Amino acid sequence: MATQTKTPTVSIGIPAYNEEKNIGALLSALKEQVCSSFILERIFVLSDGSSDKTAEIVKGFARTDAKVTLVHDARRLGKIARLDDLFKDAQSDLLIILDADIIPAHGLVLSELVNAFRDPRVGLAAGFEIPYRPTTLAEKGFYGWNLVWLDIRKRYNKGISVHNNPGSVFAMSKALYKNTEIPPKSIAEDEFIFFRARQLSLGFAWVPSATINYRLPKALPEYLKQSARYISTKEKMFEHFGKGIETEYRIPAGLKIGSLLRTFGTHPLMTSLGVSLQAIVRVYTLFRKHSLFTNNTWEAARSTK
């Protein structure tokens, strides 16, 4: 007799800080997701001290959809604190985390993430984030480097790396989220969760078909801060997991050069702008990395909303 496979239960967590411009569109998009392979139990919107209409919009959805739950108070605690509380409260087999300023690229994003857990060794699955096409010259530069970086990430170690666990779209098994508490000062919850899964001997699955779209910053100062954050947070991971994980961040020079050449061949102007911007980012990071974070929270980029 064939063994019956239990249909997994799923909850979604959406940390949000002043996301009135997108939270309604995201919740509407989630209602259009195909959920035939799992049971969607709850959608938690974690309003982190939002002072705009985020809470009001979510309450409107909650009135017509019992799955939508607003967690809201006036305190700005930061994404990590909100996730730690969610890990304690959630009870579903799987917990999917989405940033509030993204939109699923198609109706099977949640299903693709859930399907990764058919392999019982998997404790963490991450999707793939693709930016919207640029409209300004500055955005073209940001987009150019993003194209290079996406090409690198696709090719490095078949996608199985810390670089492919974006904080914007990932899923955790109950065995992972119930055994994870992210230290507030670690800042990079995505990287911490990746290494925590390794620590618990839980596998990582990269799911490029689980694609979401997001907006790049339109302003150079915001781009510099975002990029510098990513570069500097690995030092915080060393504090928790040891210097031995440094090898997880390294990418072979040959792979970088190959991705640069491929991207330059198809997008020469944007790639050139992107490489020039990266030189500025490295200098900015060198002088500003110790002043990028305030009270364990990250300054939100307004132009991505």
For the segment 194-220, what is each residue's pLDDT rounded down to a tens digit? 999 999 999 999 999 999 999 988 778
Q: In percent, how much of the chain has pLDDT > 90?
A: 74
- Mean pLDDT throughout 285-297? 58
Which region among 29-38, 114-123, 286-295 has the lowest average model confidence (pLDDT)? 286-295
221 band by pLDDT with thresholds 50, 70 and 90 = confident
Could you give the CA distance from residue 195 to residue 175 in angstroms, rounded to a whole number?
14
Taking residue 181's Cβ as centre, other Cβ atoms within 10 Å add up to 14
Is 238:181 a contact under the CB 8 Å cutoff? Answer: no
pLDDT of residue 2: 41
pLDDT of residue 117: 98
pLDDT of residue 272: 93
- Mean pLDDT throughout 6-12? 96
pLDDT, averaged across the chain: 90
Distance of CA 142 to the CA centre of its chain: 18
pLDDT at residue 37 is higher than 60: yes
Is 67:40 a contact under the CB 8 Å cutoff? Answer: yes
143-198 tens-digit pLDDT: 998 999 999 999 999 999 999 998 999 999 999 999 999 998 888 899 999 999 99
pLDDT of residue 297: 56
Is 91:8 a contact under the CB 8 Å cutoff? Answer: no
Is 142:217 a contact under the CB 8 Å cutoff? Answer: yes
